[in-house]
Structure 1
Amino acid sequence: MVSRTVSRMAGFVYRENRVPYYQRLYQAHDGKRQWWKTERSGYILYPYFFLLGTGGILTFYGLGRAVFGKKTFFGKN
């Protein structure tokens, strides 16, 4: 009795089945990568690409300074 009440409170009993929708979306051969299929993908991927690029640039900047004997990002040492 308790499990039925908990499942109804969680909202899983009368929820629409979205599995067929997502199967059609992700299995469609439309030339898109899987991570670009939804309209919300850019909200996650663009900040990720920005942080990835910034991290790579800062890494090579620090590497270039280390080659010339500078052990910090800024300053004389």
Structure 2
Amino acid sequence: MAGFVNRENRVPYYQRMFQEGGRKHIRQWNQTSKSKIFLYPYYTVLFGGFAGSMYMMGRMVLGHKTWFGKG
């Protein structure tokens, strides 16, 4: 626990970084080096779920209640 208490204060660093990003027109959630690690899986799930919903909506309109086959 001693490492947590005596740790360097990173708040001024992040404030500077986010304020500079505003001038470059970079979205706040896309400014850090870890952004892509978090955003790409999120986008995959978000748009995959949307695409799956649209696919199944089309199948339901045609009278099919399962993902595959004629069920």
Q: TM-score range by the shorter chain?
A: 0.7 to 0.9
Equivalent position to 2:67, from 65, 69, 73: 73
User: TM-score, length-normalised on structure 2?
Assistant: 0.87
* Cα RMSD, aligned residues only: 1.2
Q: Distance between the aligned counterparts of 2:44 and 2:5, measured in 1?
A: 40
Identity of aligned residues (%): 54
- Cα gap change, 1:69 to 1:10, in 2 (>3 Å): farther
2:54 matched residue in structure 1: 60
Equivalent position to 1:23, from 7, 11, 15: 15
Runs of 4+ in structure 1 deviating by more than 3 angstroms, as ranges, are: none
User: TM-score, length-normalised on structure 1?
Assistant: 0.81
Higher RCO, Cα 8 Å, sep 6+? 2
Greater C-alpha Rg:
1
Amino acid at match of 1:20: P
Q: Distance between the aligned counterparts of 1:55 and 1:18, measured in 2?
A: 37
